[in-house]
Amino acid sequence: MKVVIFNNQSSFKGVMYNIAKVSSDRAELMCAENFHALGILRHIKPQDYIDYLLTISAASRIEKPQFHAIITCQQEIQSKWALTYMAKEWLEKMGYGKQPYLIFFHYDTNVNHVHIVSTRVGRDGKGIRDSFEGIKAYSELNKVLGIDSKKQAQDDLHKALNYKFSSRMDFIMLLYALGYSVQIKNETLGLIKHGKIQAEVSLKKIYDKISNAECSNLRLQELREIFAANLKKYDASMHIKEYMKYQKFSSSPIRCTSDFILQLKKSHNIQLIFHGRSRKMPTDYCVIDHQSKTVYEGSYIWPLFDFIRPVNKNNISESRAQSDFIDRTHALDSENKESSGISILDFQIDIIEEVEANALYKKRKNKKNTIP
């Protein structure tokens, strides 16, 4: 499950956006709750909902009162009614249970989801509390679903420790693939989700797993053949979807996708996790093979260069998959790999750094003054 809360808006454009989806048969209005005065109308128009929300909001000095959120679900929840009921429970726990709100179920994607539109201003003219709203949103949703975040994190940590990996960096990327960011403090690695540390493990335990890791040469060769075969069929042109929140570390995850990457995950249960500096192309990647429960450094299987600048499919041969990287199998240098390990405090998913206008202006000005 995932919750997305949009930036506040001064107008209630979220209503018209969703009504437009309904008009094009891509969404359905599931419920309109607590619009008391509108009950006397025989036919309620979209503008009536907007006017009602604006009237309630006018009692406050809050300049951007629109509350617009999305709750998405996985395939196990198919019913639009089940998702709507879940959204109602979530709104109640978020403090919006008595607010006027609209819930729309959308059909326009492969993932079932609902849009929620309401006002951040209560009927008493006071704003709905929004401190740590992002953390609270997931915390309350987990309560609705009956999910114990700490127990889930312990289970995921146990699962991750059962994988084979050859560096601390590989383990951190594996945790990222499971949906966690990490914090390293006092020789302890903490798993962070929803803004809180959900589980912890000692660095010694991780290092013990590194020293005992053994990779299968046969599986490495199989992976190279899988890469070679799929690169012939699927486009490897990599699209960077977003950079994770970049802090002071030398490398951070970069969420990338391509037809090739999606196919590996779908057909072979293989994940590629890229990382590098913010606003730059990836400088490295790891391969998570869920079948063998092993994390490989990407360069031992296929060169990163071929994803940044895709190779000609006609030039990919089986001999390349068999010979080009055989010598790398025994070239693992634990000291060098460990030096690339990083501690990542918090990957803020779905957040992209914004460049300040003044900084961008100075950059352009300096560029103009540069003598060629």
| Tens digit of each residue's pLDDT (9 = 90 or more) over 278-323 | 667 788 899 999 999 999 999 889 998 888 765 445 544 444 444 3
**Cα 53 to the chain's mean position, in Å?**
31
For the cut 80, the answer to whether the pLDDT of residue 261 exceeds it is yes
Q: Is 348 exposed, middle or buried (0-12, 13-18, 19+ CB in 10 A)?
A: middle
Span 166-195, pLDDT tens digits: 888 889 889 989 988 888 888 999 998 887
- pLDDT band per the 50, 70, 90 thresholds, residue 324: very low
- Over pLDDT 70: what percentage of the chain? 77
pLDDT at 242: 66
Span 58-67, pLDDT tens digits: 988 899 999 9
Span 187-210, pLDDT tens digits: 999 998 887 899 999 999 999 988
The H-or-E segment that residue 152 falls in is helix 149-161
Q: What is the pTM of this model?
A: 0.67
Rounded CA-CA distance 74/70 in Å is 13
Query: Which of the two residues, 179 and 365, has the higher pLDDT score?
Result: 179
- Overall average pLDDT of the 337-345 stretch: 30
Span 19-40, pLDDT tens digits: 999 999 999 999 999 999 898 8
Domain boundaries, the chain: 2-145, 154-211, 217-339
pLDDT at 356: 39
Helix (H, G, I), strand (E, B) or coil at 8: coil
- Overall average pLDDT of the 218-226 stretch: 93
Rounded CA-CA distance 223/324 in Å is 13
* Contact status, residue 285 vs residue 304, Cβ threshold 8 Å: yes
Tell how many helices (H) and how many strands (E) occur in the chain: 13, 13
Stated length of the chain = 372
pLDDT at 323: 39
Query: Which of the two residues, 148 and 331, has the higher pLDDT score?
Result: 148
Rounded CA-CA distance 288/273 in Å is 8
Least confident span in 42-51, 118-127, 207-216: 207-216
Q: What CATH fold (topology level) applies to the domain 2-145? A: BirA Bifunctional Protein; domain 2 (3.30.930)
- pLDDT band per the 50, 70, 90 thresholds, residue 250: low
For the cut 80, the answer to whether the pLDDT of residue 271 exceeds it is yes
